[in-house]
Amino acid sequence: MNYYSLHHKSPKTTFKNAVVEGLAKDRGIYFPENITPLPKDFIANISNYSNHEIAFEAIKQFVGDEIPEDKLKDIISNTLTFDFPVVKVDDNIGTLELFHGPTMAFKDVGAKFMAQCLEYFNHGNEEEVTVLVATSGDTGGAVANGFLGTKGVNVVILYPSGKVSDIQEKQLTTLGQNITALEVDGVFDDCQEMVKTAFLDEDIKRTLTSANSINVARWLPQMFYFFFAYKQLHKEHKDIVFSVPSGNFGNICAGIMAQKLGLPVKHFVASTNVNDTVPNFLKDGVYTPKPSKATISNAMDVGNPSNFIRIRELFNNDLKNLKKGFSSYSFSDSETRETMQKIYEKSGYIADPHGAVGYLGLKKYGLQENEFGVFLETAHPVKFLDVVEETLPVKVEIPEQIKKVINNKKVALKASSYEDLKAYLMS
């Protein structure tokens, strides 16, 4: 399987090189050259397969022969160590819980998968790889946990000061070992731009890669969730509509990839907070990135989502075609809080702010009688403890995964500009 840059100014490359490089030399993100649908009988008989078998079938064409099949199966087995249940919260709405992993966020899967791929590719290589990652919240903790102790890999996490939750900050600043956190004076988009700039800096004489969803090994495994949800729901014989809380748009893009592989999905809704670059694009056809705004659903505080260019590629850059299978709506913090309350009052379910935005997306879309809506609950409510307990009459129990880090001491370096990051990387 070859990959090409979506800026179309760099040569095609292999899966291995796409993972190790992270970003093409022309600053474009990589995209697979071919997408071959899975056999129809595989989809029809999906209940007969384990999650590990489903994941292997979904990902193997994108890895090709660069990782042996037995090793790829081991990587999947080591990645998928927890459940992905669909929990019903309304007559025709369920939530796909993606927070049962080690850092209680959906990014645990992609981070662990990528870490193992990179470790395999780096085996026997004396030169260390530096993984750069920008985070608006959950990515940092998931990457830190996924790469912790990985031989030959150092991780540098950039996060916006004061714009992640306390628990999110603890998860990315307290692990030590091969993990370093840089607290950036700015917003997520500043962190992301610093990462992209580092890749093109000829002065930095070391191997850099990214663990954001721009990296194909972080992005593609997120397809698994959608297959797992369909496995649980296909016997309902209803059309499935997925609503995905969206920030950098990697998760929903992976869902559309699953659809291109043959997964029967009626429609995708990208639900955002007030960072409404994509909803505005669907209205007027003009893509206008803008500085991100801070919200209570901070993991979606992204003003220039990197993966939206992949979504457009999946629809052949045809806006009319895109609108047929894809919608996007924006919601305020007050609407989010009201919806958290409504969900709790109706079903007793505690949704985090991101999940509530996903639920709002389904309501705005307007489900028909023959449709079943699934919103993704991308993180455990405990990760947004203050917001949840201010909004709902509940006391959230602290899970064991969080107890391990909540009292640890924060260790982070300060960075106010790209020069600060560069100085650290060159030291």
Residue 223 contacts residue 257 (beta carbons within 8 Å): yes
pLDDT at 119: 87
- Are the C-beta atoms of residues 329 and 360 closer than 8 Å to each other? yes
- Side-chain-facing half-sphere of 356: CA atoms under 13 Å: 29
Residue 203: predicted pLDDT:
85
**Which of the listed CATH numbers 3.30.1390.10, 3.10.129.10, 2.60.40.1180, 3.40.50.1100 matches domain 84-104+219-397?**
3.40.50.1100
Instruction: Give pLDDT, residue 207.
Output: 78
- Tell me what pLDDT residue 33 has: 96
**CB 380 within 8 Å of CB 399:** yes
From residue 191, alpha-carbon distances to 12, 50, 181 in Å are 27, 38, 12
Contact call for residues 282 and 227 (beta carbons, < 8 A)? no
Q: For residue 244, which phi and psi values (nearest 5 degrees)?
A: -115, 115
Q: Phi and psi for 115 in degrees, rounded to 5?
A: -60, -40
pLDDT at 205: 64
Residue 176 is predicted with a pLDDT of 84
Q: Tens-digit pLDDT profile for the chain (427 aa)?
A: 999 999 999 999 999 999 988 888 888 999 999 999 999 999 999 999 999 999 999 999 999 999 999 999 999 999 999 999 999 999 899 999 999 999 888 989 998 999 899 889 887 777 788 888 888 777 778 888 888 888 888 899 999 998 888 888 988 898 888 999 999 999 888 998 898 888 888 888 667 888 878 899 999 999 999 999 999 999 889 999 999 999 999 999 999 999 999 999 999 999 999 999 999 999 999 999 998 898 999 889 999 999 999 999 999 999 999 999 999 999 999 999 999 999 999 999 999 999 999 999 999 999 999 999 999 999 999 989 999 999 999 999 988 888 888 888 889 999 999 999 999 988 8
Catalytic residues: 107
Q: Residue 206 has what pLDDT?
A: 66
